[in-house]
Amino acid sequence: MSRTLYLKVNKITTVHERDIFLKDVASLYSDDPAVMAKCGAIKVKTIRVDRDRRYVEDVLAILRLINGVDPSIQVTNLGETDYIIDYRRPRPARLLWQWIKTACVCAVCFCGAAFAIMTFNNDASVTAVFQEVYRMVLGQEWQGDISVLELSYSVGLAAGILLFFNHFSVWKLNTDPTPLEVEMRLYEDNITKTLIASGGEEEPGAGAT
């Protein structure tokens, strides 16, 4: 039976236990179940300082650990060469606080978007544009407080936002990721690349295995 282990390390893994094993940060495959079990139980790191922190690690350290356990195992790495362990201390669920933070973020986004739209409309003088279009098409001045142009613009603006963000409550128009999900993924990737490029900036006592 083959003694080859296929290793796919995740770019970033969130853990809550201070003892971290290879199976926690990577996907393993081998034709020999004993090899998978043996390698999955290898301890790759022990968190010495009990505080939330991200640790940048090197796959070469994993290869050395596997070689120390069984030099006959051939490892094929299919994943990252540098990876991050994101340690978060175990905490009880605080659903109320999560809902409060979500409500605050939604309120800020709503007010900011509304302010941006209103300032754009005021600067572009949308009302004056609608009045001019109304006069040119119908040949008479606009009378009244609101016209069909303003009503259509308001409805179209809301519909356009929903179509663009592809998301309303729990409903989605299709399976594509929303622009917000794409931006969040890019943001997380940039954070990961920055941490890896800086070498983790290990602090004294933050220690490893």
Helix (H) or strand (E) holding 19: strand 19-21
Tens digits of residue pLDDT in 4-24: 999 999 988 999 999 999 999
User: What are 118's two structure tokens?
Assistant: 């209103």
Mean pLDDT over 143-164 rounds to 79
pLDDT above 70 as % of the chain: 89
- For the cut 80, the answer to whether the pLDDT of residue 124 exceeds it is no
The pLDDT score that the predictor gives to residue 173 is: 66
Sheet containing 26-29: give its strands across.
26-29, 4-9, 74-77
The pLDDT of residue 207: 46
Which class would CATH give 4-87?
mainly beta
How confident is the model over 44-52, as a mean pLDDT?
A: 90
Q: At 28, which helix (H) or strand (E)?
A: strand 26-29
- Which of 41 and 195 is assigned the larger pLDDT? 41
Residue 97 pLDDT exceeds 80 = yes
Confidence of residue 168 (pLDDT cuts 50, 70, 90): low
Residues 74 and 3: beta-carbon distance below 8 Å? yes
Query: What's phi and psi for 41, nearest 5 deg?
Result: -85, 0
Mean pLDDT, residues 95-104: 90
Higher pLDDT, 208 or 177: 177
Query: What is the rounded distance in angstroms from the CA atom of residue 102 to the CA atom of residue 98?
Result: 6
Mean pLDDT of 85-111: 88
Over the chain, what is the mean pLDDT? 83
Q: What is the pTM of this model?
A: 0.62
Instruction: Using the predicted structure, report yes or no on whether residue 176 has a pLDDT greater than 90.
Output: no
Please, are residues 43 and 20 in contact by the beta-carbon 8 Å criterion? yes
What is the band of 203 on the pLDDT scale with cuts at 50, 70, 90? Answer: very low
Could you give the count of Cα atoms lying within 13 Å of 50 in the half-sphere of its Cβ?
A: 5
pLDDT of residue 208: 44
Mean pLDDT for 152-164 is 81
Q: Taking the domains of the chain in order of start, what are their residue ranges?
A: 4-87, 95-194
Partners of 6 in the β-ladder: 29, 76
User: DSSP readout, 49-109?
Assistant: S-S-EEEEEEHHHHHHHHHHH-TT-EEEE-S-SEEEEEE-------HHHHHHHHHHHHHHH
Alpha helices for the chain (secondary structure H):
22-25, 33-40, 59-69, 95-124, 126-138, 148-165, 179-197
